[in-house]
Amino acid sequence: MSIIIRAARPDDIDTIIGFIRALADYERLAHEVKADRATLFNHLFGPRPMAEVLIADRNDAPVGFALFFHNFSTFEGRPGIYLEDLFVVPEARGGGAGKALLQRLARLTLERDCARLEWSVLDWNEPSIAFYRALGARPMDEWTVQRVDGEALRALARVNSCEGHPEC
């Protein structure tokens, strides 16, 4: 029952979508999933990939995934890796897949000369928080995540076309 961690391939797209939906169900956020096959495929495997995925296989069957991308620390002057999602199917939890995914991400972080590996966890998700603490993760309690999306994002993006142009 060894676990193999591998980079996702284009033919994994349906598996990745399945993991995303299962994670959303677990996090009670299924109503927020908008990802579709074509969009996700383009952003993961298209001409300009925006994120990467690792798949955890046990006995040649996918049991978990980690979706991540690079960010950048101006203070460090180096990139980092941000883990957007980590999910292991319930029947495989406790079998080492989650730890193996995080270990591979830690190695990638070092191999790519990144300064840090970061992620967010829902504050009610005590099992995951305990798991992360056991691996040496520490909370960044002084930071609060901020988000602009939907109509607020569209409103923020609107620019008066004459702003900064006295000739208008």
- Among all residues, which ones are annotated catalytic? 132
Tokens of 63: 């049991």
Taken in order 49, 16, 100, 27, is the CA torsion positive or negative?
Answer: positive
> Considering only CA atoms, which of 58, 46, 35 is closest in space to residue 10?
46
Alpha-carbon distance 93 to 78, whole Å?
A: 33
In a 13 Å sphere around the CA of 118, the CA atoms on its Cβ side amount to 15
